[in-house]
């Protein structure tokens, strides 16, 4: 089981064809937060993990921030990419990434627009429920 849901979501985005890890898809480990984002940033959300010991799952918040550039074309590309990711990931069930079983991936909200320093961003949160238990005989 992977220790970090953000890494798994970044890997899932790459496998779905939304970009390449380290080039278009970043986690906070990959991205130094000093440069301008041009792609997808996957970050852990606060609050952290919600554990359900009865069914051996935990639910983790994962924030996605998307930006594809400046001006009207960048705004349009950012919007198109963010909604494509939203549609691809919302309400996914029984997904396995890097040995981790995810019972459900669902969006907590739709992508909303942020304008900062003349650039347009879209952001939304995923609630990711992963199974960490095992079946014993």
What is the value of pTM for the model shown?
Answer: 0.87
What local confidence, expressed as pLDDT, does residue 8 receive? 93
Average pLDDT over residues 36-41: 84
pLDDT(118) > 90: no
Domain 5-131 has CATH 3.30.2000.30: yes
Mean pLDDT in residue range 122-135: 84
Residue at token pair 């064809």: 17
Record the tokens describing residue 85, joined without a space: 């990711």
Average pLDDT, stretch 112-116? Answer: 91
* Confidence (pLDDT) at 48: 62
Q: Is the pLDDT confidence value at 104 over 90? A: yes
* One-character DSSP codes across 96-124: EETTEEEEEEEESS--EEEEETTEEEEEE
């Amino acid at each position: 089981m992977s220790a970090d849901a953000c890494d798994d979501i970044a890997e899932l985005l790459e496998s779905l064809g939304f970009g390449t890890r380290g080039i278009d898809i970043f986690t906070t480990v990959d991205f130094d937060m000093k440069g301008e984002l041009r792609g997808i940033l996957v970050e852990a959300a606060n609050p952290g993990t919600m554990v359900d010991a009865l069914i051996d799952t935990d639910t983790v918040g994962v924030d996605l921030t998307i930006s594809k550039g400046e001006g009207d074309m960048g705004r349009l590309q950012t919007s198109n990419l963010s909604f494509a990711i939203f549609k691809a990931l919302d309400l996914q069930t029984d997904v396995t990434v890097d040995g981790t079983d995810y019972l459900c991936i669902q969006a907590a909200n739709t992508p909303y627009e942020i304008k900062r320093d003349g650039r347009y961003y879209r952001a939304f949160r995923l609630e990711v429920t992963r199974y960490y238990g095992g079946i014993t005989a």
